């Protein structure tokens, strides 16, 4: 099956700092999503981005499908950004998602 | 928020007992999924459904069965729970296979 690798596995930031999270995948994909799992365990949709670039407030994402990677940018980080960020992909049109291992982010005040 | 309700939210059960988890949606979405999340493994797909009475296996389906008799409900059954099935279970929905999936709040299951 498809392999999804996220880096870095852990990240500690001071409030206000910027960061870039990376997701590499081993095959072409039909779907790609970024999620934030908050400290209460809830999975929050950030981006649906099988290709191209999107922005939502302080967050933006870029997927370069031909090179099999996606980047999530967090600017001016806040303590509420803490949690685990997951990239998930699907090769086919069925949304059977394969998740990466996640990046655990801690933002310190 | 997507209209997804998982029940129960927490459950403790004994080894060997049957357990059924319920996922209910109010979005009339065609696709529904069950995932489990374990430390060190991220989320993994157990089973999915692409319509009423249409289901298929995911990556980690052994020991689980599912049923979908109505569009809005997707049930996950552990016929005889084992300690290795202690996990957090998430239900997800999507309207088509090419749109984003939304997740429920999860069910924490402990098998003792």
Per-residue pLDDT tens digits for A23-82: 999 999 999 999 999 999 999 999 999 999 999 999 999 999 999 999 999 999 999 999
Distance CA A105, CA B87 (A): 22
Distance CA B111, CA B12 (A): 6
A93/B97 CB distance under 8 A:
yes
Q: Does B44 touch chain A (CB under 8 A)?
A: yes
Distance CA A96, CA A106 (A): 29
Q: Does B90 touch chain A (CB under 8 A)?
A: yes
Q: Does A30 touch chain B (CB under 8 A)?
A: yes
A-chain CB neighbours of B40 within 8 Å are 101
**Angle ∠(B75,A84,B43) on CA atoms, nearest 5:** 30
Q: Which pLDDT tens digit goes with each residue over B84-105?
A: 999 999 999 998 877 899 999 9
- Average model confidence (pLDDT) across chain A: 96
Q: Does B48 touch chain A (CB under 8 A)?
A: yes
Confidence of residue B1 (pLDDT cuts 50, 70, 90): low
A43/B103 CB distance under 8 A:
yes
């Amino acid at each position: 099956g498809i392999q999804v690798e996220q880096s870095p596995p852990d990240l500690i930031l001071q409030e206000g700092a910027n960061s870039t999270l990376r997701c590499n995948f081993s095959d072409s994909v039909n779907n790609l999503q970024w999620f934030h799992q908050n400290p209460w365990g809830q999975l929050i949709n950030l981006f649906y981005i099988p290709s191209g670039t999107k922005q939502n407030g302080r967050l933006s994402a870029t997927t370069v499908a031909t090179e099999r990677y996606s980047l999530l940018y967090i600017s001016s980080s806040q303590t509420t950004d803490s949690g685990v960020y997951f990239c998930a992909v699907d090769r086919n049109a069925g949304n059977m998602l394969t998740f990466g291992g996640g990046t655990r982010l801690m933002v310190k005040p | 928020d997507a209209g997804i309700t998982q029940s129960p939210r927490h459950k403790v059960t004994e080894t060997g007992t049957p357990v059924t988890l319920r996922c209910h949606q109010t979005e009339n979405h065609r696709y529904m999924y069950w995932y489990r999340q374990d430390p060190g493994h991220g989320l993994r797909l157990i089973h999915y459904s692409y319509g009423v009475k249409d289901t298929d296996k995911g990556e980690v389906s052994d020991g689980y069965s599912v049923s979908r008799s109505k569009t809005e409900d997707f049930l996950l059954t552990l016929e005889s729970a084992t300690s290795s099935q202690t996990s957090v279970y998430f239900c997800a929905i999507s309207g088509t296979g090419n749109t984003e999936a939304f997740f429920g709040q999860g069910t924490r299951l402990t098998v003792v």
